[in-house]
Amino acid sequence: MKLQVGRYSISIYPENEVEEAYIEEVLGLKENGDSVKLFRENVVGMGLVHCLTTRTEEQEEYMEEVV
C-alpha cells in the first residue's frame, strides 16, 4: 500500500487486489463514502503518540467494558 500524508489528511492507496480486499474486509470500507474511526494510543505513562489504530464496533465495546 502507498500511504500519502498531507497537512490535513492521510490517504491509503492499495497497489493490488489483496490490499484492496484488506481495506474492504478488515477496515470495513466497502462503499464510496464509508469511513473508519481512528483511535489515538499514547506511549504508556507519557503523552506521546504511540500509534493510531482502528477497531470494529465489537472491539470498541469490549475495550469500554475492560476499562
Q: For residue range 9-66, what is the model confidence (pLDDT) as tens digits?
A: 999 999 999 999 999 998 889 999 999 888 888 888 888 888 888 877 777 776 677 6
Give the separation between CA 23 and CA 54, rounded to whole angstroms.
Answer: 12
pTM higher than the cut 0.75: no
Residues 49, 28, single domain; the answer is: no
For residues 62 and 2, what is the distance between their CA atoms, to the nearest angstrom? Answer: 31
- Residue 67 shares a structural domain with residue 42: yes
Please tell me the total count of domains within the chain: 2
Asked whether residue 47 falls in the same domain as residue 67, the answer is yes
What pLDDT score was predicted for residue 64?
73
Q: What pLDDT was estimated at residue 67?
A: 63
21 with 46, same domain: the answer is: no
